[in-house]
Amino acid sequence: MPYESRTRRRLRVAGRYARSVAHPRSYPTVGVIPAYWWDGHPNFGDALTPWLLRPRGVLPFLTAPSQSHMVGVGSILEHLPDDYEGTIWGTGLMYDAAFSLPKARVLAVRGALTRDRIDAPADVTLGDPGLLAADVVRRRDVRYELGFLPHSNHFPSPQTRDLRSREDSRIHFIDVRRSPDFVVREISRCRHVLSTSLHGLVVADSFGIPAAWASLEPELMGSTYKFHDHESVVTPGWSRQIEVAVGDSVESITGRTRPADRDSVRASVEGLRASVTQLPVTRAFAPVAWWHR
């Protein structure tokens, strides 16, 4: 059954609701909000919006962009209509081009590049909400020297096949098509992270894990824009982009990882936490919230 089928989508909705009403923060009421995030294929980063908000007593339910009251994690601002009047929460652009959203309420955007391209206020909160991952999951004991998170488009690449084929217990392949809960927990178990997926990098930065990112073939939509947008917040003025070749040793890769700037991450996290309280939610008793899904 295809991921994007109606039945699979309804099962995902039911699962998100069940996890939300089971959370202690959902009682006696939960904050309900029609929201938009990309749900077209399995990717933990695209699914971070409901996962991050659930522990904060907020139940976003997926709607079309034009019907949403908020837009969350992802490179999806271009999906919005020009007259969008909802709330932007940590969202980014896919492409390095100006995009006007004059009626939107901007609580936070992913980075300084997106801020400038949509002409948001200079003092708007900057940061991908994925930086809040460490608020949801505590870091576990380190089990792996290198966590490797290739974007699903890079699974066939020579570098990915090389790293996955090695019988080396120090390398931990993490499938980004799994759930946010699974992927975030697995990242937390790694001493270093190499990612070609943006949110592999973002979550590593949430935990303060030394990380690096690479751009493999095929080139992703938007090229490297979203990575530089994120790094404009957490490593202002420098980048952790590296070249990875077939045969590179674990030591060669881990020796080029770097943690994000701690103070920059802390400032972003504080701003994102505060912004959650400003989301335009409607309070409802948890069982009733099901009918708003």
pLDDT digits (tens, 9 = 90+) for 131-141: 999 999 999 89
Q: Is the pLDDT of residue 237 over 70?
A: yes
Q: What angle do CA 68, 178, 79 make, to 5 degrees?
A: 25
Residue type, 25: R
Is the pLDDT at 3 greater than 90? The verdict is no
The Cα angle at residue 27 between residues 22 and 28, in degrees rounded to 5: 145
Question: Which has the closest alpha carbon to 125: 279, 289, 237, 274?
Answer: 274
Q: Can you say whether residue 261 is alpha, beta or left, with left for phi > 0 and alpha for psi between -120 and 50 degrees?
A: beta
pLDDT for the residue 16: 54
Q: What is the pLDDT of residue 163?
A: 97
d(CA 109, CA 271): 11
Q: Domains of the chain: which residue ranges?
A: 6-132+271-292, 134-261
Asked whether the beta carbons of 101 and 80 are under 8 A apart, the reply is yes
The pTM score is 0.89
Tens digits of residue pLDDT in 119-175 = 999 999 999 999 999 999 999 899 999 999 999 999 999 999 999 999 899 999 999
179-224 pLDDT per residue, tens: 999 999 999 999 999 999 999 999 999 999 999 999 999 999 999 9
Summarised one tens digit per residue, pLDDT across range 80-92 is 999 999 999 999 9
Q: What is the CATH number of domain 134-261?
A: 3.40.50
Parallel, antiparallel or unpaired: strands 190-195 and 171-173:
unpaired
Rounded Cα distance, 12 and 184, in Å: 19
Residue 33 phi/psi, 5-degree rounding, is: -150, 130
The yes-or-no verdict on residue 9 having pLDDT over 60 is no
Burial (CB count <10 Å: 0-12, 13-18, 19+), residue 260: buried
